[in-house]
Structure 1
Protein backbone atom coordinates (compact mmCIF):
# COMPACT_ATOMS: atom_id res chain seq x y z
CA UNK A 1 0.00 0.00 0.00
CA UNK A 2 2.77 2.39 0.96
CA UNK A 3 4.60 1.58 -2.26
CA UNK A 4 1.49 2.40 -4.32
CA UNK A 5 1.05 5.71 -2.46
CA UNK A 6 4.73 6.56 -3.00
CA UNK A 7 4.48 5.72 -6.68
CA UNK A 8 1.37 7.90 -6.97
CA UNK A 9 3.19 10.83 -5.34
CA UNK A 10 6.10 10.43 -7.76
CA UNK A 11 3.75 10.45 -10.73
CA UNK A 12 1.96 13.53 -9.45
CA UNK A 13 5.26 15.29 -8.88
CA UNK A 14 6.40 14.36 -12.38
CA UNK A 15 3.11 15.58 -13.86
CA UNK A 16 3.49 18.88 -11.98
CA UNK A 17 6.98 19.33 -13.40
CA UNK A 18 5.74 18.69 -16.92
CA UNK A 19 2.89 21.19 -16.50
CA UNK A 20 5.30 23.80 -15.11
CA UNK A 21 7.71 23.28 -18.02
CA UNK A 22 4.86 23.61 -20.53
CA UNK A 23 3.68 26.88 -18.98
CA UNK A 24 7.15 28.34 -18.71
CA UNK A 25 7.90 30.99 -21.34
CA UNK A 26 10.80 30.28 -23.69
CA UNK A 27 14.02 32.13 -22.98
CA UNK A 28 14.23 35.49 -24.71
CA UNK A 29 16.70 35.49 -27.62
CA UNK A 30 19.96 37.27 -26.89
CA UNK A 31 19.36 39.85 -29.65
CA UNK A 32 16.18 41.00 -27.86
CA UNK A 33 18.08 42.06 -24.76
CA UNK A 34 18.87 45.81 -24.49
CA UNK A 35 22.55 46.71 -24.65
CA UNK A 36 24.60 49.90 -24.57
CA UNK A 37 24.62 52.02 -27.71
CA UNK A 38 27.52 51.73 -30.11
CA UNK A 39 30.13 54.44 -30.53
CA UNK A 40 30.26 56.04 -33.98
CA UNK A 41 34.02 56.50 -34.16
CA UNK A 42 34.51 53.49 -36.44
CA UNK A 43 31.71 54.61 -38.78
CA UNK A 44 33.11 58.14 -38.93
CA UNK A 45 36.58 56.83 -39.78
CA UNK A 46 35.14 54.62 -42.54
CA UNK A 47 33.20 57.52 -44.07
CA UNK A 48 36.30 59.73 -43.97
CA UNK A 49 38.17 56.94 -45.73
CA UNK A 50 35.46 56.77 -48.41
CA UNK A 51 35.65 60.54 -48.93
CA UNK A 52 39.44 60.37 -49.28
CA UNK A 53 39.16 57.55 -51.82
CA UNK A 54 36.61 59.53 -53.84
CA UNK A 55 38.92 62.55 -53.96
CA UNK A 56 41.74 60.34 -55.29
CA UNK A 57 39.74 59.32 -58.36
CA UNK A 58 40.51 60.87 -61.75
CA UNK A 59 38.24 63.77 -62.65
CA UNK A 60 36.67 61.82 -65.53
CA UNK A 61 35.36 59.17 -63.09
CA UNK A 62 34.00 61.58 -60.47
CA UNK A 63 30.51 63.01 -60.04
CA UNK A 64 30.54 66.67 -61.14
CA UNK A 65 31.15 69.03 -59.53
CA UNK A 66 33.76 66.81 -57.88
CA UNK A 67 33.53 68.53 -54.48
CA UNK A 68 29.73 68.36 -54.14
CA UNK A 69 29.10 64.83 -52.85
CA UNK A 70 32.25 64.61 -50.67
CA UNK A 71 31.30 67.95 -49.09
CA UNK A 72 27.76 66.72 -48.46
CA UNK A 73 29.08 63.52 -46.91
CA UNK A 74 31.36 65.46 -44.57
CA UNK A 75 28.51 67.79 -43.60
CA UNK A 76 26.21 64.88 -42.78
CA UNK A 77 29.00 63.21 -40.83
CA UNK A 78 29.51 66.31 -38.68
CA UNK A 79 25.77 66.65 -38.04
CA UNK A 80 25.33 62.99 -37.15
CA UNK A 81 28.34 62.45 -34.93
CA UNK A 82 26.84 63.93 -31.68
CA UNK A 83 23.68 61.84 -32.24
CA UNK A 84 24.38 58.80 -30.02
CA UNK A 85 24.24 60.96 -26.88
CA UNK A 86 20.62 61.88 -27.61
CA UNK A 87 17.87 59.65 -26.26
CA UNK A 88 14.68 61.33 -27.44
CA UNK A 89 12.61 59.45 -30.01
CA UNK A 90 12.44 62.43 -32.40
CA UNK A 91 16.22 62.88 -32.30
CA UNK A 92 16.70 59.15 -32.83
CA UNK A 93 14.45 59.25 -35.92
CA UNK A 94 16.41 62.18 -37.34
CA UNK A 95 19.63 60.33 -36.62
CA UNK A 96 18.45 57.25 -38.50
CA UNK A 97 17.20 59.31 -41.43
CA UNK A 98 20.49 61.17 -41.60
CA UNK A 99 22.47 57.93 -41.44
CA UNK A 100 20.49 56.45 -44.33
CA UNK A 101 20.95 59.67 -46.30
CA UNK A 102 24.69 59.53 -45.69
CA UNK A 103 24.85 55.90 -46.87
CA UNK A 104 22.80 56.82 -49.92
CA UNK A 105 25.05 59.76 -50.76
CA UNK A 106 28.20 57.66 -50.60
CA UNK A 107 26.42 55.01 -52.70
CA UNK A 108 25.49 57.53 -55.41
CA UNK A 109 29.03 58.92 -55.58
CA UNK A 110 30.69 55.52 -55.80
CA UNK A 111 28.01 54.02 -58.03
CA UNK A 112 28.48 56.86 -60.50
CA UNK A 113 32.24 56.24 -60.59
CA UNK A 114 31.77 52.47 -60.92
CA UNK A 115 29.38 52.88 -63.86
CA UNK A 116 31.80 55.23 -65.63
CA UNK A 117 34.70 52.85 -65.02
CA UNK A 118 32.83 49.78 -66.26
CA UNK A 119 31.48 51.65 -69.30
CA UNK A 120 34.96 52.87 -70.15
CA UNK A 121 36.42 49.38 -69.83
CA UNK A 122 33.72 47.87 -72.05
CA UNK A 123 34.17 50.56 -74.71
CA UNK A 124 37.95 50.42 -74.48
CA UNK A 125 38.28 54.12 -73.64
CA UNK A 126 39.45 53.45 -70.08
CA UNK A 127 42.69 51.82 -69.04
CA UNK A 128 45.37 53.19 -71.34
CA UNK A 129 47.65 53.38 -68.31
CA UNK A 130 47.75 50.29 -66.09
CA UNK A 131 48.81 52.11 -62.92
CA UNK A 132 46.04 54.69 -63.18
CA UNK A 133 43.49 51.99 -63.96
CA UNK A 134 44.47 49.80 -61.00
CA UNK A 135 44.52 52.77 -58.62
CA UNK A 136 41.06 53.96 -59.69
CA UNK A 137 39.60 50.44 -59.60
CA UNK A 138 41.06 49.79 -56.14
CA UNK A 139 39.59 53.08 -54.83
CA UNK A 140 36.14 52.26 -56.21
CA UNK A 141 36.30 48.66 -54.95
CA UNK A 142 37.33 49.69 -51.43
CA UNK A 143 34.69 52.42 -51.31
CA UNK A 144 32.15 49.82 -52.39
CA UNK A 145 33.13 47.69 -49.40
CA UNK A 146 32.57 50.67 -47.09
CA UNK A 147 29.27 51.54 -48.78
CA UNK A 148 27.73 48.11 -48.28
CA UNK A 149 29.09 47.91 -44.74
CA UNK A 150 27.14 51.12 -44.04
CA UNK A 151 23.97 49.62 -45.50
CA UNK A 152 24.32 46.38 -43.54
CA UNK A 153 25.00 48.35 -40.35
CA UNK A 154 22.06 50.72 -40.91
CA UNK A 155 19.49 48.06 -41.90
CA UNK A 156 20.21 45.03 -39.74
CA UNK A 157 17.42 44.78 -37.13
CA UNK A 158 16.40 48.39 -37.74
CA UNK A 159 19.78 50.03 -37.29
CA UNK A 160 22.25 50.53 -34.42
CA UNK A 161 19.78 52.22 -32.04
CA UNK A 162 17.08 49.58 -32.55
CA UNK A 163 19.66 46.83 -32.05
CA UNK A 164 20.76 48.37 -28.76
CA UNK A 165 17.14 48.53 -27.59
CA UNK A 166 16.39 44.95 -28.68
CA UNK A 167 13.31 45.90 -30.71
CA UNK A 168 13.49 43.48 -33.66
CA UNK A 169 11.96 40.01 -33.34
CA UNK A 170 14.38 38.39 -35.76
CA UNK A 171 17.92 39.22 -36.96
CA UNK A 172 18.76 39.93 -40.59
CA UNK A 173 22.31 38.58 -40.24
CA UNK A 174 23.33 35.55 -38.20
CA UNK A 175 26.81 36.10 -36.76
CA UNK A 176 28.80 33.17 -35.31
CA UNK A 177 28.71 34.79 -31.85
CA UNK A 178 24.91 34.68 -31.92
CA UNK A 179 25.00 30.90 -32.34
CA UNK A 180 27.72 30.17 -29.78
CA UNK A 181 27.17 32.54 -26.88
CA UNK A 182 29.64 30.63 -24.73
CA UNK A 183 32.44 31.95 -26.97
CA UNK A 184 31.76 35.62 -26.27
CA UNK A 185 30.23 38.06 -23.78
CA UNK A 186 26.60 37.62 -22.84
CA UNK A 187 25.72 41.13 -24.08
CA UNK A 188 27.63 40.85 -27.39
CA UNK A 189 26.20 42.86 -30.29
CA UNK A 190 27.65 43.31 -33.79
CA UNK A 191 29.41 46.65 -34.27
CA UNK A 192 30.34 48.46 -37.46
CA UNK A 193 33.64 46.57 -37.67
CA UNK A 194 31.70 43.31 -37.88
CA UNK A 195 29.61 44.58 -40.79
CA UNK A 196 32.75 45.90 -42.49
CA UNK A 197 34.23 42.41 -42.24
CA UNK A 198 31.05 40.90 -43.70
CA UNK A 199 31.18 43.38 -46.58
CA UNK A 200 34.88 42.72 -47.26
CA UNK A 201 34.57 38.93 -47.27
CA UNK A 202 31.47 39.08 -49.47
CA UNK A 203 33.32 41.33 -51.94
CA UNK A 204 36.29 38.96 -52.12
CA UNK A 205 34.55 35.57 -51.94
CA UNK A 206 31.45 36.71 -53.91
CA UNK A 207 29.33 34.86 -51.32
CA UNK A 208 28.69 34.82 -47.56
CA UNK A 209 31.45 33.32 -45.43
CA UNK A 210 30.91 32.96 -41.68
CA UNK A 211 27.92 35.33 -41.36
CA UNK A 212 24.71 34.25 -43.06
CA UNK A 213 22.02 36.61 -44.43
CA UNK A 214 18.57 35.61 -43.19
CA UNK A 215 16.13 38.19 -44.53
CA UNK A 216 15.39 38.59 -48.23
CA UNK A 217 16.70 42.16 -48.38
CA UNK A 218 20.00 41.06 -46.81
CA UNK A 219 20.40 38.27 -49.39
CA UNK A 220 19.55 40.66 -52.23
CA UNK A 221 21.96 43.32 -50.99
CA UNK A 222 24.80 40.84 -50.63
CA UNK A 223 24.08 39.51 -54.10
CA UNK A 224 24.23 43.01 -55.60
CA UNK A 225 27.52 43.71 -53.85
CA UNK A 226 29.03 40.43 -55.06
CA UNK A 227 27.92 41.18 -58.64
CA UNK A 228 29.46 44.69 -58.58
CA UNK A 229 32.73 43.38 -57.18
CA UNK A 230 32.85 40.58 -59.75
CA UNK A 231 32.26 42.99 -62.65
CA UNK A 232 34.94 45.42 -61.49
CA UNK A 233 37.55 42.78 -60.82
CA UNK A 234 36.86 40.75 -63.98
CA UNK A 235 36.93 43.75 -66.31
CA UNK A 236 39.96 45.33 -64.66
CA UNK A 237 41.94 42.09 -64.74
CA UNK A 238 41.01 41.50 -68.38
CA UNK A 239 42.00 45.04 -69.35
CA UNK A 240 45.24 44.85 -67.39
CA UNK A 241 46.18 41.59 -69.11
CA UNK A 242 45.62 43.28 -72.47
CA UNK A 243 47.74 46.26 -71.46
CA UNK A 244 50.66 44.20 -70.17
CA UNK A 245 50.32 41.70 -73.00
CA UNK A 246 50.36 44.40 -75.62
Structure 2
Protein backbone atom coordinates (compact mmCIF):
# COMPACT_ATOMS: atom_id res chain seq x y z
CA UNK A 1 0.00 0.00 0.00
CA UNK A 2 1.33 3.40 -0.96
CA UNK A 3 1.55 5.81 1.95
CA UNK A 4 0.86 9.50 1.77
CA UNK A 5 3.47 11.95 3.00
CA UNK A 6 1.45 12.48 6.16
CA UNK A 7 1.25 8.72 6.81
CA UNK A 8 4.99 8.36 6.29
CA UNK A 9 5.66 11.12 8.80
CA UNK A 10 3.36 9.49 11.35
CA UNK A 11 5.35 6.26 10.97
CA UNK A 12 8.54 8.14 11.73
CA UNK A 13 10.19 7.94 8.30
CA UNK A 14 12.87 10.61 8.28
CA UNK A 15 13.11 13.27 5.62
CA UNK A 16 15.84 13.00 2.95
CA UNK A 17 18.87 15.20 3.36
CA UNK A 18 20.04 15.49 -0.27
CA UNK A 19 18.58 19.00 -0.50
CA UNK A 20 20.72 20.12 2.42
CA UNK A 21 23.72 18.51 0.75
CA UNK A 22 23.06 20.55 -2.39
CA UNK A 23 22.96 23.71 -0.27
CA UNK A 24 26.37 22.88 1.16
CA UNK A 25 27.73 22.19 -2.33
CA UNK A 26 26.40 25.61 -3.35
CA UNK A 27 28.36 27.29 -0.55
CA UNK A 28 31.43 25.35 -1.69
CA UNK A 29 31.11 26.57 -5.29
CA UNK A 30 30.46 30.14 -4.16
CA UNK A 31 33.56 30.03 -1.97
CA UNK A 32 35.71 28.88 -4.88
CA UNK A 33 34.36 31.78 -6.96
CA UNK A 34 35.29 34.43 -4.37
CA UNK A 35 38.32 36.63 -5.09
CA UNK A 36 41.44 35.38 -3.30
CA UNK A 37 41.60 38.58 -1.23
CA UNK A 38 38.29 37.60 0.42
CA UNK A 39 39.39 34.13 1.51
CA UNK A 40 41.37 33.18 4.60
CA UNK A 41 43.98 30.46 4.72
CA UNK A 42 44.53 27.90 1.96
CA UNK A 43 41.66 27.43 -0.48
CA UNK A 44 41.42 23.73 0.27
CA UNK A 45 40.69 24.26 3.98
CA UNK A 46 37.01 25.26 3.80
CA UNK A 47 36.15 22.68 1.09
CA UNK A 48 37.67 20.05 3.37
CA UNK A 49 35.54 21.23 6.30
CA UNK A 50 32.43 21.26 4.13
CA UNK A 51 33.20 17.74 2.98
CA UNK A 52 33.26 16.69 6.63
CA UNK A 53 30.01 18.61 7.11
CA UNK A 54 28.37 16.59 4.34
CA UNK A 55 29.39 13.41 6.12
CA UNK A 56 28.12 14.83 9.41
CA UNK A 57 24.73 15.62 7.90
CA UNK A 58 24.56 12.16 6.36
CA UNK A 59 25.20 10.58 9.75
CA UNK A 60 23.04 12.89 11.87
CA UNK A 61 20.10 12.60 9.46
CA UNK A 62 19.87 8.85 8.91
CA UNK A 63 17.56 7.72 6.14
CA UNK A 64 16.95 4.23 7.46
CA UNK A 65 17.99 4.18 11.10
CA UNK A 66 15.97 5.98 13.75
CA UNK A 67 18.77 6.75 16.17
CA UNK A 68 20.88 9.86 16.49
CA UNK A 69 24.10 10.45 18.38
CA UNK A 70 24.43 13.81 20.17
CA UNK A 71 28.06 13.88 19.00
CA UNK A 72 27.00 13.74 15.37
CA UNK A 73 24.47 16.52 15.87
CA UNK A 74 26.93 18.82 17.64
CA UNK A 75 29.53 18.07 14.98
CA UNK A 76 27.06 19.08 12.28
CA UNK A 77 26.05 22.28 14.10
CA UNK A 78 29.69 23.12 14.79
CA UNK A 79 30.68 22.76 11.16
CA UNK A 80 27.75 24.89 10.03
CA UNK A 81 28.99 27.49 12.50
CA UNK A 82 32.47 27.35 10.93
CA UNK A 83 31.05 27.93 7.45
CA UNK A 84 28.94 30.79 8.84
CA UNK A 85 31.94 32.39 10.53
CA UNK A 86 34.00 32.06 7.35
CA UNK A 87 31.30 33.81 5.36
CA UNK A 88 31.08 36.60 7.95
CA UNK A 89 34.85 37.06 7.77
CA UNK A 90 34.59 37.33 3.98
CA UNK A 91 31.83 39.92 4.43
CA UNK A 92 34.00 41.92 6.82
CA UNK A 93 36.93 41.83 4.40
CA UNK A 94 34.63 42.91 1.58
CA UNK A 95 33.35 45.89 3.58
CA UNK A 96 36.95 46.84 4.38
CA UNK A 97 37.87 46.78 0.67
CA UNK A 98 34.83 48.85 -0.28
CA UNK A 99 35.68 51.49 2.31
CA UNK A 100 39.33 51.61 1.22
CA UNK A 101 40.49 54.49 -1.02
CA UNK A 102 41.18 52.15 -3.96
CA UNK A 103 38.05 51.93 -6.13
CA UNK A 104 39.43 49.92 -9.02
CA UNK A 105 37.58 46.64 -8.54
CA UNK A 106 33.97 47.78 -8.23
CA UNK A 107 32.45 45.14 -10.52
CA UNK A 108 34.34 42.30 -8.84
CA UNK A 109 33.15 43.50 -5.44
CA UNK A 110 29.52 43.61 -6.59
CA UNK A 111 29.77 39.99 -7.77
CA UNK A 112 31.49 38.99 -4.53
CA UNK A 113 28.71 40.68 -2.53
CA UNK A 114 26.14 38.58 -4.38
CA UNK A 115 28.11 35.40 -3.68
CA UNK A 116 28.34 36.22 0.02
CA UNK A 117 24.61 36.99 0.14
CA UNK A 118 23.69 33.66 -1.49
CA UNK A 119 25.99 31.82 0.89
CA UNK A 120 24.30 33.59 3.79
CA UNK A 121 20.88 32.37 2.63
CA UNK A 122 22.06 28.77 2.18
CA UNK A 123 23.85 28.66 5.52
CA UNK A 124 20.92 30.01 7.52
CA UNK A 125 18.57 27.61 5.76
CA UNK A 126 20.81 24.90 7.20
CA UNK A 127 20.66 26.55 10.63
CA UNK A 128 16.85 26.63 10.56
CA UNK A 129 16.69 23.05 9.26
CA UNK A 130 18.98 21.76 12.01
CA UNK A 131 17.39 23.85 14.80
CA UNK A 132 13.62 23.55 14.38
CA UNK A 133 12.18 20.95 16.78
CA UNK A 134 15.63 19.56 17.52
CA UNK A 135 16.62 18.85 13.92
CA UNK A 136 15.40 16.71 11.01
CA UNK A 137 15.59 13.44 12.92
CA UNK A 138 13.45 14.50 15.89
CA UNK A 139 10.95 16.31 13.65
CA UNK A 140 9.85 13.03 12.10
CA UNK A 141 8.85 11.33 15.33
CA UNK A 142 5.18 10.53 15.77
CA UNK A 143 5.14 13.11 18.58
CA UNK A 144 7.72 15.79 17.64
CA UNK A 145 9.00 18.48 19.97
CA UNK A 146 7.47 21.94 20.30
CA UNK A 147 8.06 23.78 17.00
CA UNK A 148 10.45 26.72 16.72
CA UNK A 149 8.65 27.95 13.58
CA UNK A 150 4.92 28.26 12.94
CA UNK A 151 4.26 27.52 9.27
CA UNK A 152 0.87 28.36 7.71
CA UNK A 153 0.31 24.68 6.83
CA UNK A 154 0.50 23.77 10.52
CA UNK A 155 -2.63 25.84 11.20
CA UNK A 156 -4.57 24.65 8.15
CA UNK A 157 -7.53 22.40 8.87
CA UNK A 158 -7.67 21.05 5.32
CA UNK A 159 -7.04 17.34 4.85
CA UNK A 160 -4.05 17.68 2.45
CA UNK A 161 -2.05 19.35 5.22
CA UNK A 162 -2.89 16.85 7.96
CA UNK A 163 0.36 15.63 9.48
CA UNK A 164 2.34 18.14 7.40
CA UNK A 165 5.90 18.83 8.47
CA UNK A 166 8.43 21.18 6.91
CA UNK A 167 11.32 20.02 4.74
CA UNK A 168 14.57 21.68 3.82
CA UNK A 169 13.05 23.70 0.96
CA UNK A 170 10.62 25.25 3.44
CA UNK A 171 13.53 26.44 5.58
CA UNK A 172 15.36 27.66 2.47
CA UNK A 173 12.33 29.77 1.61
CA UNK A 174 12.24 31.16 5.16
CA UNK A 175 15.93 32.06 4.93
CA UNK A 176 15.46 33.68 1.51
CA UNK A 177 12.50 35.82 2.53
CA UNK A 178 14.20 36.82 5.79
CA UNK A 179 17.28 37.91 3.83
CA UNK A 180 15.23 39.98 1.38
CA UNK A 181 12.51 41.44 3.63
CA UNK A 182 14.66 41.59 6.81
CA UNK A 183 11.68 40.13 8.68
CA UNK A 184 9.62 36.90 8.77
CA UNK A 185 7.05 36.60 5.98
CA UNK A 186 6.04 32.93 5.65
CA UNK A 187 6.81 31.17 8.93
CA UNK A 188 6.70 33.00 12.25
CA UNK A 189 9.56 32.39 14.73
CA UNK A 190 8.36 31.10 18.08
CA UNK A 191 11.53 30.39 20.06
CA UNK A 192 14.27 32.75 21.18
CA UNK A 193 16.97 30.77 19.38
CA UNK A 194 15.44 31.04 15.91
CA UNK A 195 14.58 34.69 16.53
CA UNK A 196 18.27 35.26 17.28
CA UNK A 197 19.28 33.38 14.13
CA UNK A 198 16.90 35.46 12.03
CA UNK A 199 18.27 38.68 13.51
CA UNK A 200 21.84 37.66 12.68
CA UNK A 201 20.87 36.70 9.13
CA UNK A 202 18.97 39.96 8.61
CA UNK A 203 21.90 42.05 9.84
CA UNK A 204 24.33 40.22 7.55
CA UNK A 205 21.95 40.59 4.62
CA UNK A 206 21.41 44.28 5.35
CA UNK A 207 25.15 44.89 5.43
CA UNK A 208 25.61 43.03 2.16
CA UNK A 209 22.70 44.53 0.26
CA UNK A 210 22.44 47.93 1.89
CA UNK A 211 26.07 48.86 2.47
CA UNK A 212 28.22 46.66 0.26
CA UNK A 213 26.15 46.64 -2.91
CA UNK A 214 25.26 50.33 -2.61
CA UNK A 215 28.90 51.30 -2.09
CA UNK A 216 29.99 49.14 -5.02
CA UNK A 217 27.44 50.80 -7.30
CA UNK A 218 28.74 54.16 -6.12
CA UNK A 219 32.26 53.05 -7.06
CA UNK A 220 31.09 52.22 -10.58
CA UNK A 221 29.52 55.66 -10.85
Instruction: Tell me, yes or no, if the aligned pair for 1:172 and 1:213 is still in contact at 8 Å.
Output: yes
CA deviation vs aligned residue, 1:105-157 (integer Å, no higher than 9, x gap): 211221111111122223345x5223211111111000000111111111111
Q: Do residues 238 (structure 1) and 214 (structure 2) align?
A: yes
- From 28, 36, 40, the counterpart of 2:17: 40
- From 39, 55, 63, the counterpart of 2:32: 55
CA deviation vs aligned residue, 1:64-120 (integer Å, no higher than 9, x gap): 12210121111331354255145364x432432232123112112211111111222
TM-fit CA distance, 1:218: 1.3
Matches within 5 A, 1:120-199: 120-125=97-102, 128-165=104-141, 166-168=143-145, 170-182=146-158, 184-199=160-175
Segments of structure 1 that go 5 or more residues without pairing to the other structure are 1-31
**Structure-2 change in CA distance of 1:177 and 1:183 (3 Å):** farther
Q: Corresponding residue for 1:87?
A: 65
**Structure-2 change in CA distance of 1:183 and 1:57 (3 Å):** farther
TM-fit CA distance, 1:34: 5.8
Instruction: Tell me, yes or no, if the aligned pair for 1:37 and 1:160 is still in contact at 8 Å.
Output: yes
RMSD: 2.1
TM-fit CA distance, 1:183: 6.3
Segments of structure 2 that go 5 or more residues without pairing to the other structure are 1-8
Distance 2:31 2:169 in 1: 21
TM-fit CA distance, 1:43: 0.5
- From 85, 95, 103, the counterpart of 1:118: 95
Q: Which moved more, 1:199-208 or 1:214-223?
A: 214-223
Count how many residue pairs are aligned between Structure 1 and Structure 2: 211
**Structure-2 change in CA distance of 1:88 and 1:244 (3 Å):** closer
Q: Corresponding residue for 1:73?
A: 50
Instruction: Tell me, yes or no, if the aligned pair for 1:153 and 1:160 is still in contact at 8 Å.
Output: yes
**Structure-2 change in CA distance of 1:237 and 1:79 (3 Å):** closer
Instruction: Tell me, yes or no, if the aligned pair for 1:35 and 1:187 is still in contact at 8 Å.
Output: no
| Corresponding residue SS for 1:66 | coil
Tell me the TM-score normalised to structure 2 length. Answer: 0.87
